[in-house]
Structure 1
Amino acid sequence: MRERHASQEARRARDFEAFVAGAAGRLLHAATLLTAETPDDNPRARRLLTLALAETYASWDRLRGDDPYDRTRQQLATRFAREAWHRHGTFGRQRRDRGGILAGLSPRERLMLVLRLYEGVTEEQTGALLGLPAERVRAICARAVATLLHPPPRPAPAVPVAKVAPS
């Protein structure tokens, strides 16, 4: 009995390791886009991915034909949304410049854009995941794309004033 259990655990671990080897790079990139961090400095993205993978591993035996990548992506998205809500008290309006390519977008806009354009999730699936109608997902994505294509002007850098020597 113990040998059979140990064998099942070893197989489970091998299967999960194979999944992580194939999917972790793409999922980390998605998490990095979500957090608006740079690829070489992304501790929040790595933490989000680690927690999502831990959740997937915990439910590995219950997947029963479900796609582990899809499950992990859902965990990543919901954890990101929850964290953005708790961190800022809002999910849709807060913008923080961290240096990533999507830094000018709100957390909600980043989430919609990553799911729709990077991950190829349909509007209906994205809406169902976040509790929004597909039309709202479409509008948020359109606004995010418009913001990326035509970013608001940044303030001009301050010009140092030349000191005049007294005469």
Structure 2
Amino acid sequence: MRERQASPGGRRAREFEAFVAGAAGRLLHIATLLTAEAPDDNPRARRLLTLALAHTYASWDRLRGEDPYAHTRERLAGRFAHEAWYRRGGRARRQLSGALAALTPQERLIAVLRLYEGMAEDQTAALLGLPADRVRILCDRAVVALARPAYRPAPAVRGPEVAPS
């Protein structure tokens, strides 16, 4: 009886809270991979996720059967791509960490969507507004960069110490 009398806003809020409770961890992980921040120090990732979730909440009633996870992931990817475009050559950046730090933001975005999220090539291309061939090339380039170990100079080798005579 109470459920029927509850306001539509209350129902909407409960549905959204249930969605966030189930999906926020994975979405935060995606945002952290995109920003290449450390998992325990990821303010950019948290900001991206907060803005994507706010957009999903604002659109909640219009989703009508659309997958809210996919919708939020698209907003997250779009906002990351937008911010990456405007950050080029801009302010000083935080130190990136992890294996994905070696990739460009576009390579990172495509690698996360294709490899971590399992999105199809044509779906990724449509989401990003790129030709499928370009998505394939960038994904291949990212895989090669991830497979190749980062160059680090070898430690100096010291010879045997000779005692003075």
TM-score range, shorter chain: 0.7 to 0.9
**Is structure 2 residue 106 aligned with structure 1 residue 108?**
yes
Cα offset, 1:146, TM superposition: 0.4
Within-5 A mapping of 1:29-40: 29-40=29-40
Give, in whole Å, the separation in 2 of the partners of 1:5 and 1:57.
22
Cα offset, 1:152, TM superposition: 4.7
Unmatched segments (≥5 aa) in structure 1? 159-167
Unmatched segments (≥5 aa) in structure 2? 157-165
Aligned to 1:85: 85
Aligned to 2:64: 64
Which residue identity lines up with residue 102 of structure 1 in the other structure? L
Runs of 4+ in 1 over 3 A off after TM superposition: 154-158
Can you list the C-alpha shifts for 1:91-149, whole angstroms capped at 9, x where unaligned? xxxx9851123101000010000000111111001100111111111111111010010
Cα offset, 1:154, TM superposition: 3.5
Equivalent position SS for 1:102: helix
Cα offset, 1:49, TM superposition: 0.2
Aligned to 1:15: 15
Contact 1:27/1:73 (8 A) holds in 2: yes
Equivalent position SS for 1:103: helix
Give, in whole Å, the separation in 2 of the partners of 1:79 and 1:132.
16
Give, in whole Å, the separation in 1 of the partners of 2:25 and 2:96.
21
Which residue identity lines up with residue 13 of structure 2 in the other structure? A
Contact 1:96/1:103 (8 A) holds in 2: no
Contact 1:97/1:104 (8 A) holds in 2: no
Instruction: Specify which of 142, 145, 152 is matched with residue 154 of structure 1.
Output: 152
Give, in whole Å, the separation in 2 of the partners of 1:19 and 1:107.
28
Give, in whole Å, the separation in 2 of the partners of 1:88 and 1:151.
25
Which residue identity lines up with residue 122 of structure 1 in the other structure? A
Can you list the C-alpha shifts for 1:53-76, whole angstroms capped at 9, x where unaligned? 000000000001100000000000
Which residue identity lines up with residue 106 of structure 2 in the other structure? R
Give, in whole Å, the separation in 2 of the partners of 1:33 and 1:27.
10
Which residue identity lines up with residue 143 of structure 2 in the other structure? V
Give, in whole Å, the separation in 2 of the partners of 1:56 and 1:153.
41
Give, in whole Å, the separation in 1 of the partners of 2:6 and 2:153.
62
Identity %, equivalent residues: 73
Output the aligned Cα RMSD: 2.3
Equivalent position SS for 1:153: coil
TM-score normalised to the size of structure 1?
0.84
Which residue identity lines up with residue 65 of structure 2 in the other structure? G
TM-score normalised to the size of structure 2?
0.85
